[in-house]
Structure 1
Amino acid sequence: MQATRKTQAERASRSLTVLVPCWNEEESLPRLFERLDGLRRNETRPIRYSFLFVDDGSKDSSQSLIRAYAATRPYAHYMFLSRNFGKEQAMFAGIEHVNTDGLVIIDADLQDPPELIGQMADLWMQGYEDVYARRRSRQGEKWFKKASSHAYYALLQKIASVEVQQDTGDFRLLDRKCVQALQQLRESERNAKALFSWIGFRKIEFLYDRDVRAAGKTKWGFAKLCRLALDGITSFTTAPLRIATWLGVGVSLASAAYAVAIAVKRLTTGIDVPGYASTMVVMLLLGGIQLLSLGIMGEYIARIFNQTKGRPNYLIEEDDIGTSQSSLPHRVQGAQRISHDAQTQ
């Protein structure tokens, strides 16, 4: 009879996986473990938590710390990738191996407070399927990063074919519907923010104040951020290709008008139009536009090339998710997807 009541209680609750992509986070992980344990211990809602750590080829002691943490907690699991594939791929490696009622994605640096997950879960239980955390303030970030981020999202909002959530990261709670939709996507070049927007579903904004990094240094330098921004633009829209086309049309029309003006002046005045300097400027301008257009086309062609190679998006070197109580033998993107139901509290 007691077992029956336990089963009924489990069915009345919801299982929620907290997915943590990691890369060289040995300084932050001990504090993260403590706060995640506190989240689970202090939870009063009918939620069964499990934690999944995806290590993206760390060179420090992150894997040892995660392995030791999971060894003493049946609700904690890990997946170690064979090398550094990038945060987006590490994140989707976790997404493709989750089959719980909901999923929370959170960084290991503790800039996104784990204690807010319960409040996000309240909105989830009200029926929202994508509770995305929007940054009300960003402590510890320089003005240039804030300004460039704002400009980037403003640009995306103008050119994207889907609605873009402003000033958001990967910190969000996704319902099983959203997770299953993401598991169906087959892109090799993935941009999580673009795909979160593309899948749709019932979304709601959750405002919060972002903390400073708990320890260590950020892994996102200027070059990486530029690459991520470019990936986001090419993932969201083909507008750059259209802009290049219309730019070419505009320059062609301007060149034709200028040629007509020169011919008219020569015929009406009999004076040649001097302009070695202006000719060079026009040639350099046209050359720059051509190279820019080729670069834009090259970005899209590179995405096609990477897609056609057919390589797996990541390789798993070690994991312990097969030790969970139940499994679902289903292959996603060449890797086995395993259900790891959370343990009851």
Structure 2
Amino acid sequence: MLTIVAPLYNESAVLDSFCQRLLPVLDQLQEQTRVLFVDDGSQDGSWQLVMRLAASDSRIGGLRLSRNFGKEAALTAGLDHVRQGAAIVIDTDLQDPPELIPQLVEQWAQGYDVVYATRRNRLGETWLKKTTALGFYRVMARLSDLAVPQNTGDFRLLSRRSLDALQQLRERQRYMKGLFSWIGFRQTAVQFDRDPRIGGRSKWNYWRLLKLAVEGITSFSTAPLQLATWVGLGSAALAFVYGSWVLGRALLFGDVVRGYPSLMVVILFLGGVQLLALGVIGEYLGRNYAETKQRPLYFVDASIGVPVPSAADPVMSATDTPSQS
């Protein structure tokens, strides 16, 4: 069994084209296949389109979340509902070509548990988007002990034991690319050229990408806290040296009221450093607060062609309460 998990949010403009390219690829595979769409609270009729597609092909199923929980939660919901076999994660915007799936399956057949698709070229993306993405991966590699593959998105194949491992990771602040790497097992890459979007608009603006970058760094590294500590120590040392110099000059040459500009610079510098350190501490404290509440990762509002898990299921009962429609 091979399940294609496709999270989506307001993607009605591309769903038909996605299925037209995906289903012929699945027809060529020897494995039994199905497609699981996860609608993350779309407002453009995407769910109605998923229902129509499911009615036309028995291999297609869907989950509709009760609201927009974010892509990481939607992806988690889809993977949680893969109860047999392996899964392939792919976006519906066709930037990740479905024609690459047989190569992922081939590597899986050779014994790899995680087969991720690495982008050789990122067609249709601006110079700024490529530069900031490269910068993030480099910062992540420096700050974290976790080796996250560069230029690699969510497009990948996950074996059964990889999925079982992921279902044990129920943290609320989720950076899925990091979790995919953190579980370990045998992993390999398949190179491809990423295509531009065929329709619709990307939901990932720079603000959301920045939030995701902060999520990834704070989820897998304490380096920002350590940096705040070292910056604080350095600032304290500079302030001590400067204070000693001011005191020595006053003792030797008298107390002359001068240096107001330099005094303001020092005060503003130390105040800025303190606020920066408090902000970093606040980011980690906020994540601890979210974890202690133990809220479910998502709720399922409706499902099509997806078995409803029993209440005794240790994963599903702790994460959602799906309903059948």
TM-score greater than 0.5 by the shorter chain: yes
Partner SS for 2:156: strand
- Cα distance in 2 between the residues matched to 1:328 and 1:100: 18
Match of 2:89 among 101, 105, 115: 105
1 CA distance for matches of 2:84 and 2:126? 38
Aligned residue number for residue 257 of structure 1: 241
Q: Extract unaligned runs of 5+ from structure 1.
A: 1-14, 338-345
* Distance in structure 2 (CA, Å) of the matches to 1:34 and 1:24: 18
Residues in 1 aligned to 2:194 and 2:319: alpha-carbon distance in whole angstroms: 36
Deviation, 1:331, is 3.6
Query: Structure 2 matches for 1:1-345, cutoff 5 A?
Result: 15-43=1-29, 46-270=30-254, 272=256, 274-322=258-306, 330-332=313-315, 333-335=318-320
Identity of aligned residues (%): 44
In the alignment, the residues of structure 1 paired with residue 216 and residue 299 of structure 2 have an alpha-carbon distance, to the nearest angstrom, of 24
| CA offset digits 1:105-157 (Å, max 9, x no partner) | 00010000011010111111111111111111001100001001100110000
Alignment check: 8 A CA contact 1:262 1:273 kept? no
Q: Shift of the alpha carbon at 1:73?
A: 2.0
Deviations 1:205-236 (A, max 9, x none): 21110000011111111111111111111111
d(CA) in 1 for partners of 2:61, 2:42: 17
Instruction: State the Cα distance separating 1:164 from its structure 2 match.
Output: 1.6
Do 1:55 and 1:80's aligned partners in 2 also have CA atoms closer than 8 Å? yes
Counterpart-to-counterpart distance in 2, 1:71 and 1:329: 30
State whether residues 55 and 81 of structure 1, in contact with CA within 8 Å, keep that contact through their aligned partners in structure 2.
yes
Contact 2:34/2:59, CA 8 A, preserved across alignment: yes
- How far off is 1:270 after superposition? 4.0
Q: Distance in 1 between the 2:162 and 2:321 partners?
A: 19
Q: Name the aligned partner's letter for residue 182 of structure 1.
A: L
Cα separation, partners in 2 of 1:76 and 1:89, compared to 1, 3 Å: same
Contact in 1 for aligned 2:3/2:36 (Cα 8 Å): yes
**AA in 1 matched with 2:116:** Y
When residues 16 and 264 of structure 1 are mapped into structure 2, their CA distance, relative to the original with a 3 A threshold, is same
In 2, distance between residues paired with 1:93 and 1:62?
17
The size of the alignment, in residue pairs, is 321
TM-score (norm 2): 0.94
Q: 1:31 to 1:328 in 2, by over 3 A?
A: farther
Which residue type is aligned with residue 335 of structure 1? D
